[in-house]
Amino acid sequence: MRNIISYFIKFPVAVNIFILAFIGFGLAGALSMKSSFFPLVESRNISINLTYPGASPEEMEEGIVLKIEDNLKGIVGIDRVTSVSRENSASINIEIVKGKNIDVVLSDVKNAVDRVPSFPTGMEPPIIAKIENIRPTISFTISGENISLATLKQYSHTIENELIKIDGISQVRL
């Protein structure tokens, strides 16, 4: 430690160069650092939504969901498959292994659903899509005493239109 101090005492210009380099590299690092308030996270889920009007949950499970789940077995990149059957509809959620390309797995899932031999007549085509992450930034409430609901809706639509005009705002939902 004494050697370093004695070196800087002998050569004071070296101290100035060291300090300037430290500040320069610090500024360069700070300016090139990527950061965001809400970090971007790649989606790892695929959903299959099925609609069959008039079907019971048992019919949805046995007639449709189990057939699709059987075809999904063996697809590389699938971590877990969960399904929920309800009256008139069912949904299948597919979680992708971290690091796998979701578009490739999505294509494989679509091919697997297309390989189902037959769906019941009257069933709507399955909707297969990757689940996009939506990160709400802000939410607020408009209220007032002795103001009708129609007036509050007019105010909210006016505010919605003004917010959409602001550069950098991509989506506004009432």
Residue 137 pLDDT: 75
Per-residue pLDDT of the chain (174 residues; tens, 9 = 90+): 788 888 888 888 988 999 999 999 999 999 888 776 666 677 789 999 999 999 999 989 988 999 999 999 889 999 999 999 999 999 999 999 988 889 999 999 999 999 888 888 889 999 999 888 776 778 888 888 888 888 989 999 999 899 888 887 878 888
List the strands of the sheet with 127-130, edge to edge: 78-86, 89-96, 45-51, 127-130
Structural class in CATH, domain 45-130: alpha beta
Mapped to the 3 state alphabet, what secondary structure does 42-57 carry?
CCCEEEEEEECCCCCH
Domain ranges of the chain: 2-32, 45-130, 136-174
Is the pTM for the entire model greater than 0.95? no
